[in-house]
Amino acid sequence: MASVFCLRNVIFRGTCNVNSTKFLVLKSVANHSRSLSISSINCNDVEFDLVVIGGGSGGLAAAKEATTLGAKVAVLDYVTPSPLGTKWGLGGTCVNVGCIPKKLMHQAALLGESIQDAKSYGWQFPQAENIRHDWETLKDAVQAHIKSVNWVTRVELRDKKVEYINGLGTFVNANTVSATTKQGERTLTAKYFLIAVGGRPRYPDIPGAVEYGVTSDDIFSLQKEPGRTLVVGAGYIGLECAGFLKGLGYDATVMVRSVVLRGFDQQMAHIVTAAMQDRGVNFLFKCKPKKIEKLDNGQLKATWVNEVNEEFTDVFDTVLFAIGRRALTRELKLENAGVKVAGDGEKIDAVNEQSNVPHIYAVGDVLYKKPELTPVAIHAGRLLSRRLFGNGAATMDYDNVATTIFSPLEYGAVGLSEEEAVKRFGEDKVEIYHAYYKPTEFFIPQKNISHCYLKVVAMRDGEQKVLGMHFIGPQAGEVIQGFAAAIKCNLTVNALMGTVGIHPTIAEEFTRINITKRSGKDPNPASCCS
Ligand code: FAD
Ligand code: NAP
């Protein structure tokens, strides 16, 4: 028998263990401020301990952890085809139409750059002038890799005895989910439900957007090469896609509505933009799309307006919308379960991943005001399962999550931006260390070093606790990852300066910081080894 009931400010989480021995876990969550209704279900009547809706990063991580802890788990996953008809297999956004294909295409673009660098290092390409990239080869290789991951994921679920149901989940009531599968409807009951449905790209509400535009759902499997591409949106996806498309040899233009990388340190965002412009990516600032039309020759005519409503047009082969993503909650019929959505009407505002209905949880991109990142979804999912089915007490810490924008010159960041630190603590309390640096690898090919820049945001007093670290340069993700762990351990500027670097690397530049913005001193390096 199990009961799941919740009183204001105190959650009683009753659960059966998988051997049906009854035990009760009592947890007090002091800041759980919602008024919660009491609901209870009988453990013996339910088919599963946990039903996960959404087989992506968060859902799969939670499901696998739960079965490892002995729970009986089912995962529902269903991909609705994109308006262009693109669909994919098990594993969610990251594996199929997100991080993985993006990183592979980014790598393809970087290799193109390396071929140019290689000539300066003595590599000879007898047919150098004829070097060109073949889209179909790359697309096929990327898709083959994705299919292999889909397969491995299915095998892993089978081995771990997670029941995978290829069906669209909707709530019938708070204790029942219906799965629509090719074979028909199936009803599932469970003690706990986990909503991990992620999101899908938005389209702007303009004529021709859905008919003729593509999104990140389509770009990695595009049958014909993208050609001259307009990318609408200057967030993560816009910059990354425009970056690799240009690197593969296609003309790429980014349309920016307000600012590039809103929410990020804006000085860093400007440098990322400049580095992309330096590589030939075009930017249309303060512009919004108005309509997309198809020409007789198959090309797309885009019309847009600037901030004073002046109209412009140009012709492209592909228009890619990268204007953010909507959470897939509408399709879930949350109202049948009584699960409330937050301010924007789509996302779930959970406390420790628990929705307003105590036995219904949510992780990943579907959560309100939480980073939309794969490792965030995975970590939160795992911790949740440990709390539900193990003896875990740890909750997800959404602060100081490191991230990287895989633009041609990458930008990695962890912690606060300069603006956010000043807003929170005041300008006189914050110290900014910064430096330009010269990657050794750039010398021989004489690559532009003017965008290789880093910044440490710290408290001004005492040992100067580090609040944020920002790095633009090659392998920024690899550089920032280790420092993210250091920040978790309360890194200080003193400790950073007391760290002996690894020479010659670019990550060591963080250990060499000594110039504050306030000092007005030149942050340009004198030599590589000074
Ligand atoms: P998802 O992985 O989206 O999984 C949700 C699954 O649920 C999907 O398979 C969906 O089809 C399914 N589903 C939806 N509704 C239902 C339903 N009703 N019934 C059954 N199944 C349903 N993050 C990073 O950390 N690093 C990156 O480099 C990175 N790059 C990205 C690049 C792109 C182009 C995109 C789009 C995203 C990128 N992300 C990246 C973000 C990352 O992919 C997401 O944060 C992550 O996938 C979210 O995981 P999730 O479990 O919340 O949802
Ligand atoms: P995003 O980062 O939120 O950026 C959306 C962009 O589109 C913004 O520049 C926004 O401009 C613009 N925009 C929004 N509505 C628009 C409209 N109607 N017309 C024109 N422009 C519009 O979203 P995203 O790039 O789609 O990425 C979604 C999420 O996926 C990200 O938040 C990120 O967490 C995740 N992701 C992560 C990675 C990574 O880790 N490397 C990579 C890709 C994606 P404004 O600023 O003016 O609103």
What is the C-alpha R_g of the chain?
25
pLDDT at 171 over 50: yes
Average pLDDT over the chain, rounded to whole? Answer: 92
Which of 389, 423, 438 delimits the end of a domain? 389
Nearest residue to 96 (alpha-carbon basis) of 72, 117, 120, 80? 80
Using 50, 70 and 90 to split pLDDT, how confident is the model at 464? very high
DSSP string, 116-143: HHHHHTT---TTGGG----HHHHHHHHH
pLDDT at 517 over 80: yes
* Average pLDDT of span 38-64: 85
What are 353-372's pLDDT values in tens digits?
Answer: 999 999 999 999 999 999 99
pLDDT at 32 over 60: no
- Could you give phi then psi for residue 211, rounded to 5 degrees? -65, -45
Which of 99, 171, 245, 378 to mutate to test ligand 1, by most ligand atoms within 8 A of the CB atom? 99
Rounded distance from Cα 90 to ligand 1 centre (Å): 11
Using 50, 70 and 90 to split pLDDT, how confident is the model at 527? low
Nearest residue to 501 (alpha-carbon basis) of 514, 490, 512, 515? 512
What are 241-270's pLDDT values in tens digits?
Answer: 999 999 999 999 999 999 999 999 999 999
Q: What is the pLDDT of residue 14?
A: 37
Statement to judge: residues 68 and 163 lie in one domain: yes
Residue nearest ligand 1's atom 33 by CA: 98
Within a domain: residue 24?
Answer: no
Query: Position of tokens 């290092």?
Result: 121
Using 50, 70 and 90 to split pLDDT, how confident is the model at 182? very high
Statement to judge: residues 166 and 237 lie in one domain: no
Which of 298, 323, 348 delimits the end of a domain? 323
Ligand 2, CB cutoff 6 Å, lining residues = 204, 232-238, 240, 257-258, 262, 288, 322-325, 371-373, 403-406
Rounded distance from Cα 365 to ligand 1 centre (Å): 7
Q: What is the CATH number of the domain that holds 278?
A: 3.50.50.60
Q: Is 102 in the pocket of ligand 1 (CB under 6 A)?
A: yes
Within a domain: residue 159?
Answer: yes
Using 50, 70 and 90 to split pLDDT, how confident is the model at 45? confident
Using 50, 70 and 90 to split pLDDT, how confident is the model at 526? confident
Q: What is the pLDDT of residue 18?
A: 35
Statement to judge: residues 240 and 182 lie in one domain: no
| CB contact at 8 A, 480 and 506 | no
Instruction: Quote the domain boundaries for residue 189.
Output: 45-81+142-200+326-389
Q: Per this entry, what is the length of the chain?
A: 530
Q: What is the CATH number of the domain that holds 485?
A: 3.30.390.30
Closest-lying ligand 1 atom to the alpha carbon of residue 366: 52
pLDDT at 20 over 50: no
What would the two tokens of residue 277 be?
Answer: 């412009």
What would the two tokens of residue 149 be?
Answer: 């991951």
What are 98-108's pLDDT values in tens digits?
Answer: 999 999 999 99
Statement to judge: residues 192 and 339 lie in one domain: yes
Q: Is 353 in the pocket of ligand 1 (CB under 6 A)?
A: no
What would the two tokens of residue 498 be?
Answer: 């007391």
Give the ligand with the smallest distance to the CA of 93.
1
503 belongs to the catalytic site:
yes
Better-predicted residue by pLDDT, 193 or 527:
193
Q: What is the pLDDT of residue 529?
A: 58
Q: What is the pLDDT of residue 126?
A: 80
Task: Report the 10 Å Cβ neighbour count for 370.
Answer: 22
Give the ligand with the smallest distance to the CA of 63.
1
CB hemisphere CA count around 346 (13 angstroms): 14
Q: In angstroms, rounded to a whole number, what is the distance separating the alpha carbons of residues 298 and 416?
A: 46
Residue nearest ligand 1's atom 15 by CA: 197
| CB contact at 8 A, 29 and 351 | yes
Lowest-pLDDT range of 84-88, 113-117, 286-290, 474-478? 113-117
* Average pLDDT of span 217-228: 98
Structural domains in the chain (count): 3
Q: Which residues contact 279 (CB under 8 A, 6 or more apart)?
A: 243, 246, 247, 408
What are 389-412's pLDDT values in tens digits?
Answer: 999 999 999 999 999 999 999 999
What are 140-151's pLDDT values in tens digits?
Answer: 999 999 999 999
What are 272-330's pLDDT values in tens digits?
Answer: 999 999 999 999 999 999 999 999 999 999 999 999 999 999 999 999 999 999 999 99
Report the percent of the chain where pLDDT is more than 90.
Answer: 88
Statement to judge: residues 363 and 451 lie in one domain: no
Which of 306, 323, 340 delimits the end of a domain? 323
CA 458 to chain centre: 26
Within a domain: residue 231?
Answer: yes
